[in-house]
Each structure stands twice: as C-alpha cells, then as structure tokens.
Amino acid sequence: MTYVVTDACVNCKYTDCVEVCPVDCFYEGANMLAIHPDECIDCGVCEPECPVDAIRPDTEVADSPWLALNARMAAIWPNLNTRKDPMPAHDHWAGVADKIALVCETAPS
C-alpha cells in the first residue's frame, strides 16, 4: 500500500503533510502535491495532517486515476520537504469536488 494525493489538494496545496514525512516522498506541482509511490513507506503520518483530507491510501482510490497521476507527476516535479503557505484561494477551492481536470502538470514557477 502507498498513500496518494487526490483532487482535494488541487488549488489548495496545503503542505502540512510534507513537514511530517520521514522519507521526503512529496513532490510539488504548480497547483497540487504528489506522493512518489515507490518512495512512500506507507507509514500514514501524512494522512491526518491534511486539512482537506486529500491524502488517501491507494486501496481507497484503486479505481481512480490518482495513483498513476501521482507516479507520473512525482517523476517530473521537484521534491518538496519543507512547509509552504497554501495557495491564495485555498479557502474557496477546499470545498470544491472533482478537480482532476484542473490539475496543472507543470512544476511551480
């Protein structure tokens, strides 16, 4: 099992999870984070840290595109191992569902 960042992170990008990860398996895109599935040690400490419940076990998202998206993006985005401020409109986006079409596949500028 690995943990996966899902659509709740899109346009929010809280990084509370990054701060507690013992193996630095988070990668930063322009409008979300990703977890590298081969680096995640399945400890689960990141899951309760996310204020918008964006991190889920891969068993809960097995029929979704999120595991593949995390793997693909973690391979090209830069590693993130320090906490940053969330995105400016995070309060608005935190309650929006089904944001996969909004994923920006570029690295942050």
Q: Output the pLDDT for position 35.
A: 98
**CA nearest neighbour of 9 among 44, 64, 42, 56:** 56
Q: Output the pLDDT for position 37.
A: 95
Question: For the stretch 11-30, what's the b/e string if a residue is b when 16 or more beta carbons lie within 10 angstroms of its beta carbon?
Answer: bbbbbebbeebeeebbbbbe
Please provide residue 68's backbone torsions phi and psi, each rounded to the nearest 5 degrees: -65, -40
Q: How far apart are CA 44 and CA 66, in angstroms?
A: 17
Strand partners, 4: 56
Q: Output the pLDDT for position 62.
A: 85
Question: Domain with 47 in it: what CATH number?
Answer: 3.30.70.20
Residue 66 has pLDDT above 90, yes or no: yes
Tell me if 75 is assigned to some domain: yes
**Per-residue confidence band for 63, with pLDDT thresholds at 50, 70 and 90:** confident
Tens digit of each residue's pLDDT (9 = 90 or more) over 8-62: 999 999 999 999 999 999 999 999 999 999 999 999 999 999 999 999 999 999 8
Tell me if 68 is assigned to some domain: yes
Give the domain range for residue 7: 3-83
Tell me if 43 is assigned to some domain: yes
Tell me if 74 is assigned to some domain: yes
